[in-house]
Amino acid sequence: MGMTITEKILAAHCGLPEVVPGQLIMARIDLALGSDVTAPIAIEEFNKAGARRVFDRKKIVLLPDHFAPNKDVQSARQCQALRKFAQEQELEHYYEVGRVGIEHAFLPEQGLVLPGDLVIGADSHTCTYGALGAFATGVGSTDLAAAMITGEAWFKVPESIKFVFRGTLRKWVTGKDLILYTIGRIGVEGARYQAMELSGPVIDQLGMDGRFTMANMAIEAGAKNGIFAPDEATLAYVRGRARRDFQCFQSDADATYCQIHEFDAGEIEPQVAFPPLPENSRPLSQVGEIPIDQVVIGSCTNGRLSDLEQAAQIMRGHKVHQKVRLIVIPATQAIYLEALKRGYLEVFLEAQAVISPPTCGPCLGGHMGVLAEGERAVATTNRNFVGRMGSPKSEIYLTNPAVAAASAILGRIAGPDALARSASIGN
Amino acid sequence: MTVVSLIQGRAWRLGPNIDTDAILPANYMNLTDPQELGRHCLEGLDPDFPRKLLAGDLLVAGSNFGCGSSREHAPLAIKAAGVGAVVAASFARIFYRNALNIGLPIVECPEVVEAVSTGDRLKIDLAAGLLLHLEKGTSYRLPPFPPFMQELIAVGGLMNYVMRRTKR
Ligand code: SF4
């Protein structure tokens, strides 16, 4: 019987010719990831278990990104624990502040994840790497500890849901809008325990950044992983980055899916997800008048170069609204540098935005732009849960970078078209 | 680590989609001591919750409990707060996995969730696969865990499982 790409990758990593949904397997991992938030617990577990060496010093990535550069003494201790462990274990992939970035933007950028890989990360957005045609999923710190010792992790083979996007994307509609729309349709547990396979002519034309954004938010529908079949765009991306062999898998034509959804992308407007769940997405035209206090453009969802490019395109020649703070966070050091060379950072600074070093920062209410009671933010991040960016009495609206930039200028949730209209009225 | 299979306690009835930020707000994620984490259990949902929650209480929630982040701080906080078990209509997958891995008893039982109110007393017999709603005198069958997960539970979590295997 035919297998899906997810089933094929899992089978290849547990030495079986075939796996079926529901089957419990112990699989070999190609990479395990931990951050300053999740790795310290894993390291404690590792030590408690009396383990001496990690299973393979080349297959573990540790990096400080959430509360780094250290936001307080406690965070400094966590980063220190990471650094110390990486030194003791002579890990090849430890990346220090100044050389690093937000994990899910950084790992693909550095060619650390490749098509066909099986990756676990002690972070729920590890599913981002599905954009490369890898099986990648978030786990907890105990899983990370066990994997650092054994090089294995247990999995229940998920059923797959296939999503097919047809038609032509409208202007200003991005991967972020496609995924917010999809989550709006199926709900925050619409793909619980399952694999989301994203495909169709629209996807074929979507650049890698858009695919990363979509795979990133598979977890917001409860999915175990989001995955795209590797194609020319994938190969173009990994070429020059890959330093080891990799294998491209495709779903068989007769693979089994528990559901198939077909969407006409031409019907999809830029989306705005209302608090407190990513499933509360609405077309931009139905948002109404919502004044805002802060805009955050960044995160592992939308802090990549093309995201900054779109935002800069909107911002050029404008100023951030009097009542709004705009925080721009390039996701990695390399993206920061490239945005600088291309003049995007200058556009943001002239618009009176503040530019943060690469960090998760306010995305999880850590630092660099936490919200107070009653404050309302537009963010290009992935979660608008109660209290996610600070006070439980604050609100987060999720959008793509172009809408976020236009909103920052107008002081209310609005898209580039509304900005163009107001500019022509103003003239 | 001993494995509890008989759990009895007073229920706190919670809604659906209780996310990990509600269970443990991210600003406490720079803590690692379970006892300290336990002192903030469900603070994101209700700032007074940690004071109201007593050791031995049970959480009874709607669907998709534990959605959101992979932070193990969430099940750790619940366990350290002394919660006997979490009963939910369904669990988000990373939370489910983390709870099994750290030995926090979890029970998926949509029918009982509907029937329970805060303050009701429940008794769970994991070994027999039975949940009793003591107030109403009703009982519910719990679907058995697959053998591998039973083994995880029996040895008290993933690390014990790994330690046994590596010693073998
Ligand atoms: S940017 Fe936000 S969602 Fe992404 S890894 Fe950091 S905290 Fe998590």
- pLDDT tens per residue across span A131-150: 999 999 999 999 999 999 99
Q: How far apart are CA A72 and CA A75, in angstroms?
A: 5
Residues of A in contact with B47 (CB under 8 A): 392
Mean pLDDT check: name the lowest of A100-109, A221-230, A368-377, B99-108.
B99-108
A213 CA distance to ligand 1 middle (Å): 12
Decide if A132 contacts A248 (C-beta within 8 A): no
What count of CB pairs under 8 Å joins A to B? 131
* Residue A79 main-chain phi, psi, to 5 deg: -65, -35
Q: Is A222 on the interface with B (CB under 8 A)?
A: yes
Q: How far apart are CA B127 and CA B132, in angstroms?
A: 13
Cβ pair A140:B69 closer than 8 A? no
Domain that holds residue B103: 7-122
ipTM of this complex: 0.90
Decide if A386 contacts A379 (C-beta within 8 A): no
A76 CA distance to ligand 1 middle (Å): 18
Q: What is the mean pLDDT of residues B68-86?
A: 93
- Picking from B17, B97, B159, the nearest residue to A49 by CB comes out as B159
A5-263: CATH superfamily: Aconitase, domain 3 (3.30.499.10)
Q: Which two tokens stand for residue B15?
A: 């809604």
Beta carbon of A364 within 6 Å of any ligand 1 atom: yes
* Residue A268 main-chain phi, psi, to 5 deg: -90, 125
Q: pLDDT band for position B2 (50/70/90)?
A: very low
Q: What is the mean pLDDT of residues B47-69?
A: 94
Q: How far apart are CA A229 and CA A133, in angstroms?
A: 5
| B71 located within any domain | yes
Q: Is A24 on the interface with B (CB under 8 A)?
A: yes
Q: How far apart are CA B16 and CA A426, in angstroms?
A: 47
Cβ pair A78:B30 closer than 8 A? yes
Nearest CA to ligand 1 atom 6: A360
Q: What is the mean pLDDT of residues A44-57?
A: 96
Q: How far apart are CA A382 and CA A222, in angstroms?
A: 13
The per-residue pLDDT for A359 is 98
Model pLDDT for residues A394-406, shown as the tens digit of each residue: 999 999 999 999 9
Domain covering A275-426 in this structure, CATH number: 3.30.499.10
Model pLDDT for residues A190-212, shown as the tens digit of each residue: 999 999 999 999 999 999 999 99
- Picking from B90, B94, B146, the nearest residue to A140 by CB comes out as B94
The per-residue pLDDT for A427 is 47
The per-residue pLDDT for B1 is 43
Q: How far apart are CA B53 and CA B59, in angstroms?
A: 10
A299 CA distance to ligand 1 middle (Å): 6
Beta carbon of A255 within 6 Å of any ligand 1 atom: no
Q: Is A37 on the interface with B (CB under 8 A)?
A: yes
Number of domains chain B is built from? 1
Cβ pair A387:B44 closer than 8 A? yes
Confidence check: pLDDT of A266 > 70: yes
Beta carbon of A388 within 6 Å of any ligand 1 atom: no
- B76: closest CA of chain A, how far (Å): 11
State the CATH number of the domain containing residue B41.
3.20.19.10
Beta carbon of A89 within 6 Å of any ligand 1 atom: no
Confidence check: pLDDT of B5 > 90: no
Q: What is the mean pLDDT of residues A303-321?
A: 98
Cβ pair B159:A48 closer than 8 A? yes
Q: For an interface test with B, which of A364, A371, A381, A384 has the most B Cβ atoms less than 10 Å from its Cβ?
A: A364
Cβ pair B30:A141 closer than 8 A? no
Residues contacting A299, CB < 8 A, separation 6+: A102, A329, A331, A360, A363, A379, A380, A381, A382
Whole-number Cα distances in Å, B100 to A111, A235, A295, B159: 33, 38, 38, 11
Q: pLDDT band for position B96 (50/70/90)?
A: very high
- B125: closest CA of chain A, how far (Å): 25
B28, containing H or E segment: none
What's the order of all strands across the beta sheet hosting B85-88? B106-108, B85-88, B58-61, B6-13, B121-125, B130-133, B138-141
| B82 located within any domain | yes
Q: Residue ranges of the domains in chain A? A: 5-263, 275-426
Q: What is the mean pLDDT of residues A318-340?
A: 98
SS3 track for A148-195: HHHCEEEEECCCEEEEEEECCCCCCCCHHHHHHHHHHHHCCCCCCCCE
Residues of A in contact with B28 (CB under 8 A): none
Cβ pair B94:A145 closer than 8 A? no
The per-residue pLDDT for B128 is 87
Residues contacting B167, CB < 8 A, separation 6+: none
Residues of B in contact with A124 (CB under 8 A): 68-70, 94
Q: What is the CA radius of gyration of chain B?
A: 15
Residues of B in contact with A363 (CB under 8 A): none
Confidence check: pLDDT of A40 > 90: yes
Residues of B in contact with A75 (CB under 8 A): 30
The per-residue pLDDT for A425 is 75
Q: Is A372 on the interface with B (CB under 8 A)?
A: no
The per-residue pLDDT for A426 is 61
Q: For an interface test with A, which of B17, B28, B29 has the most A Cβ atoms less than 10 Å from its Cβ?
A: B29
Query: CA-nearest residue of chain A to B34?
Result: A41
- Better pLDDT: B146 or A161: A161
Q: Is A388 on the interface with B (CB under 8 A)?
A: yes
Q: For an interface test with A, which of B42, B93, B101, B153 has the most A Cβ atoms less than 10 Å from its Cβ?
A: B93
The per-residue pLDDT for B3 is 54
Model pLDDT for residues A352-388, shown as the tens digit of each residue: 999 999 999 999 999 999 999 999 999 999 999 999 9
- A114: closest CA of chain B, how far (Å): 23
Q: Does the fold of domain A275-426 match that of domain A5-263?
A: yes
- Picking from A75, A126, A385, the nearest residue to B68 by CB comes out as A385
SS3 track for A306-366: HHHHHHHHHHCCCCCCCCCEEEECCCEHHHHHHHHHCCHHHHHHHCCCEECCCCCHHHHCC
